[in-house]
Amino acid sequence: MVQYSPVDRTFAALADPTRRTVLERLGRGSATISELAVPAGMSLTGMKKHVQILEEAELVRTEKHGRTRHCYLGPRRLEDVSDWVDAYRRTWDDRFDRLEEVIKREKGSR
Amino acid sequence: MSNDVREGSKTAITTPSDTEIRIERTIDAPRDLVWEAYTDRELLTQWLGPRDLSMTVEEYDIRPGGSYRFTHRDAEGNEFVFFGDILEVEEQNRLARTFAWEGMPGKQSIERAEFEELEDGRTRIVVISSFDSKEDRDGMLQSGMERGVNDSYERLDELVAQHQAG
């Protein structure tokens, strides 16, 4: 079983076009599973699976009202860029570490 | 979120405005050597690309009006081509260029790098990338997440492209 970090989970959740459409839709207001399923041309079961993945990534939260499940945008908003910044920083950290290594090698070979 | 500096990280990434990314790092080497590593075609291939990708430089003409083009290749043979024009070169001080990726036609950013020699013989590099919109800027920040999902480049490309288009 592969263990996914929260960043991976967010990314995996966002990697699917249906799920991105769901987030766009929920950005305009809450919706039930069937209100999400119909325009996507999907079964309720299919849409539930997508919503569940989004829920695990905390991009969506759901509440059950009677027999209907209502979906809302979750605590982890797309506007929350701290994860992206963190990953971006690691890329540059790595890059500049290598820049230092290259210079040390060059200096050594002179 | 304008001052996001972490312990243990030597690079500071900040977002001075909605359309910019600022990268600051102090390199433990004098400025002439940092400049050389930054502008020499052979040396560039040794540090710029991700460790797990190979890199070739098709063009690297660092003078005003010059241009550059390089390609990263992954193990599956996928190619990521980056290119741009050189806008400004002030030897050892300043380098400004456009930056674009073939995966996002029509989108480009402007990257201004400044090199400052510190009294202790180290060099501070500050790079400011300016984008046309917040969406473009965020798309670039997201692209850093590729490191966490090495096995899904294609999905990443798709996501970033969608994000840029949207």
Q: Give pLDDT, residue B142.
A: 72
Q: Give pLDDT, residue A8.
A: 62
Q: Give pLDDT, residue B157.
A: 42
Instruction: Compute the distance between CA of residue B25 and CA of residue B31 in angstroms, rounded to an integer.
Output: 13
Average pLDDT score over residue span B150-154: 36
Q: With cut-offs at 50, 70 and 90, classify the pLDDT of residue B9.
A: low
Query: What are the pLDDT digits (tens) for B115-126?
Result: 999 999 999 999
Query: What are the pLDDT digits (tens) for B92-108?
Result: 999 999 999 887 788 89
For A54-78, give one letter per residue: b (16+ CB within 10 A) or e: bbbbebbbbeeeeeebebebbebeb
Among A16, A85, A94, which would you mutate to test the B interface (most chain B Cβ atoms within 10 Å of its Cβ)?
A85
Q: Give pLDDT, residue B138.
A: 79
Average pLDDT of every residue of chain A: 81
Q: Give pLDDT, residue B150.
A: 37
Instruction: Compute the distance between CA of residue A3 and CA of residue A8 in angstroms, rounded to an integer.
Output: 9
List chain A residues with CB under 8 Å of B155: 11, 15
Neighbour order of strands in the sheet with A68-73: A31-32, A68-73, A60-65
| Nearest residue, CB atoms, A88 vs list B10, B141, B159 | B141
Pick the residue from chain B with its C-alpha nearest to A94.
B50
Pick the residue from chain B with its C-alpha nearest to A17.
B159
Instruction: Compute the distance between CA of residue B91 and CA of residue B36 in angstroms, rounded to an integer.
Output: 10
A46 pLDDT exceeds 50? yes
Average pLDDT score over residue span B39-55: 84
| pTM reported for the whole predicted model | 0.62
Average pLDDT score over residue span B137-152: 57
Average pLDDT score over residue span B21-50: 89
CB pairs under 8 A between A and B: 116
Helices within B10-143 (DSSP H only):
31-39, 41-47, 134-143
Q: Give pLDDT, residue A2.
A: 46
B153 pLDDT exceeds 50? no
The answer to whether the beta carbons of residues A88 and B4 sit under 8 Å apart is: no
Q: Is A27 on the interface with B (CB under 8 A)?
A: no
Q: Which residue reads 């710029």 in tokens?
A: B48
Average pLDDT score over residue span A42-52: 95
* Chain-chain contact of A85 with B141 (C-beta, under 8 angstroms): yes
Average pLDDT of every residue of chain B: 81
Q: With cut-offs at 50, 70 and 90, classify the pLDDT of residue B78.
A: confident
Among A8, A14, A22, which would you mutate to test the B interface (most chain B Cβ atoms within 10 Å of its Cβ)?
A14
Query: What are the pLDDT digits (tens) for A74-103?
Result: 876 554 556 667 778 888 888 899 999 999
A1 pLDDT exceeds 70? no
